[in-house]
Structure 1
C-alpha cells in the first residue's frame, strides 16, 4: 500500500500504482454522455491518466485546467481525467470552465478502476475516493511513467509527466 498524506495526516491507498514497463490494467469508465469507454478504445494513442479525488476541489480542478491547456499541443496523445465524481458533475465543471481538450471519465459505477490501479484510498475523510496520481501509457497500453502524489493537496509534477510522453 502507498502511504500518502492529506494536509499532513497519513492516509493509505490499497496498493501501489502499476509498474513502469507493465501492461496497464484494462478499464471501463463512464463518459459525461453516460457512454462507456474502455482502455482498448484508445489503442494507438499515448495516454495521460490524470487521476484525482474530485473535480470539485481546488487542486483537482487546477490539474484538469492545466492538462486541458497542454493537451492541444500534444501529438497522438489523449488526456483522460478520471475520478469517482458523477458524470453530471464532470460535465457541469467542463461546461463552466470551457474544458474541451481532455476526456472526463467516471469510476462511480463500480470503483473497479481505483481498485485495479491500486489507488483507492482506504482510510481517512477521503476513503474510497481515488488518490491523486498520474499514469502515462504508450500507444500499446504499456505504463511508461507514474507519479503517486504524496500529499493529496499538492498538484502533480506536470513538467515531469509531459516530458515522459
Structure 2
C-alpha cells in the first residue's frame, strides 16, 4: 500500500490488516515503560489513533481531538500510537494538558511492522485509525492517504457510537 508523506508517494512495509481480521501480534511501550502486547487489548472496545510524530501540527490536533472525545465513550479504551519515545510523548502530554489518552510508543517498530503501517523511508507510522472489539477483531479501519491530512474523526466516532449501542 502507498500513502503520500512529505508530498511524495511512499510505500508501507506491508499490507495493513482489514476489517474482520484479528489484530496481529505486536508489542508497544506504555508511559511507565511497561511492555504492552496485543493480548492486553482484549476484553474491551479499543480505538487506536496512529500518528506519524506527536511533535507535528496534524498529529497534535488528532491526539487532542480524541483526548477530548473520549469523555463521551466511557467503555472505550483510547490509545495513541507513534514511534516517538515515551519521553517525547510525556513532554507533549505535559505541554498540552492531555491527561486522558493512553500514549504508547512503537519506538521498536513492532506495531508498525505487524500492522503494515511503518513508512521505512521516515521511520514513522502511517496516520490511521483502527477500532478493535473485545475479541481483538478489527471492526473499523481508516488509513489517511495524504499524511498531512486529518483523519475522518466523525466516521470513527460514529462507528464507536454504533458499537456501544449493541
**TM-score, reference length from structure 1:** 0.92
- Taking the aligned partners of 1:36 and 1:106, their CA distance within structure 2 comes to 10
Q: Which residue of 1 aligns with 2:101?
A: 102
Higher helix proportion: 2
Deviation per residue, 1:17-39 (Å, 9 max, x gap): 21110111122211121112222
- Taking the aligned partners of 2:26 and 2:140, their CA distance within structure 1 comes to 18
- Taking the aligned partners of 1:59 and 1:49, their CA distance within structure 2 comes to 16
Q: Which consecutive residues of structure 2, in runs of 5 or more, have no partner in the other structure?
A: 161-166
**Residues 1:155 and 2:150 aligned together:** yes
Q: CA RMSD in A?
A: 1.2
Deviation per residue, 1:135-159 (Å, 9 max, x gap): 1101110000111100000011101
- Taking the aligned partners of 1:54 and 1:7, their CA distance within structure 2 comes to 13
Q: Which residue of 2 aligns with 1:11?
A: 10
Contact 1:5 1:11 (C-alpha < 8 Å) held by counterparts = yes
Q: Which residue of 2 aligns with 1:70?
A: 69
Alpha-carbon shift at residue 118 of structure 1 (Å): 0.2
Any idea what SS the aligned residue of 1:11 has?
strand
- Taking the aligned partners of 1:17 and 1:162, their CA distance within structure 2 comes to 21
**Residues 1:81 and 2:112 aligned together:** no
Alpha-carbon shift at residue 7 of structure 1 (Å): 4.5
Alpha-carbon shift at residue 65 of structure 1 (Å): 0.2
Which residue of 109, 112, 120 maps to 2:110?
Answer: 112
Contact 1:17 1:146 (C-alpha < 8 Å) held by counterparts = no
How many residues align? The count is 160
**Residues 1:37 and 2:32 aligned together:** no
